[in-house]
Amino acid sequence: MKLEAFENIRIDKYISDEFEEIPREKIKTFIKDEKIKVNDKKIKPSYKLEIDDEIYIDDELFKVPEIKPEEMDLKIVYENEDFAIIDKDEDVIVHPAGSIITGTLVNALIYKYGYDGLSHIGGDDRPGIVHRLDKDTTGLMVIAKNNDSYKYLKTLFETRKVDKEYLAIVHGNFEQRTGRIENFMDRDPNNRRKMAVTSSGRIAISEYEVLKEVQGYSLVKIHIITGRTHQIRVHMTDINHPLVGDPVYGNVKTKFNLDHQLLHCAYLGFTDKNGEYLSFTKKPHKTFLKYQNILGLGE
């Protein structure tokens, strides 16, 4: 891989930020063992990258340990021979990452469908996974049961032909009941584990509608046209309406003992391979509903 724009960053930090699933200590070990080199030379973990540096990384760094099946309460909304629609719970990581190889959605999918009952061209550690939700984001996801289905669904996502609507509880009240947010999004140059609105990068588009509001808080429906990492959380923070409970982007003190964002994928719709438009809806889970009622944002 060739470095183009991340000058003066430590090599171990750069790789850790680029591949979040790999523990930094493992990266340091690989550097010391010369399995990670820069410009074909041995370097230290503290080496600071320069523009046009060329990084070599041994493929062994990305090897995935065996993922074992685990029984979990999977909420199946719909399924056929090609895909399943599930309603993901909070506090569930979608796929193994780094030292986390148990308790993920993938472990549960392998238990229910078997490895051969899922697509496997999206990565050895991601059988069936076409798209992701953050650990504490709940709601609808589509799972591919075979490789042909994965290719079809992946194309739909990449060409923006999947309709996705989320519900979020955010800080503040809006001057306009509806709006469109369109800008560019990329890694935050000050913290590469975060995303940020930037002057360049990949286009990110969200549309929102305020459903209900009380003093200081709003219930919002958000339609994402693109699907960038943390898109809703970044977009709402950028317009000064961070999600309640968001520990990464919100940084707003509340009276609630809440350590994760209140965000739920409530609607998913797409046209299947037979030309039929399928749509699915699911109400938010108990934690979301709890705070929605506490704040007076319930129906």
Cα separation values, 41 from 10, 32, 35, Å: 15, 12, 10
Cα 169 to the center of its chain, rounded Å: 18
Rounded CA gap, 77 and 142, in Å? Answer: 10
Paired with 41 in beta bridges are 38
Tokens of 59: 């493929």
| 32 φ, ψ (degrees, to nearest 5) | -65, -30
Rounded CA gap, 236 and 37, in Å? Answer: 40
Instruction: State which amino acid sits at residue 116.
Output: D
CB 212 within 8 A of CB 239: no
Pairing of strands 202-214, 217-224: antiparallel
Catalytic site includes residue 82: no
CB 177 within 8 A of CB 206: no
Which is nearest to 142 in space by CA: 94, 83, 223?
A: 83
233, with CB counted inside 10 A (0-12, 13-18, 19+), is buried
Q: At what angle do helices 11-18 and 24-32 cross, to 10 degrees?
A: 130
Tokens of 207: 């549309």
Instruction: Out of 17, 53, 125, 134, pick the active-site residue.
Output: 134
Give the other-Cβ count within 10 Å of 299's Cβ.
7
Instruction: Tell me which residues are annotated as active site.
Output: 134
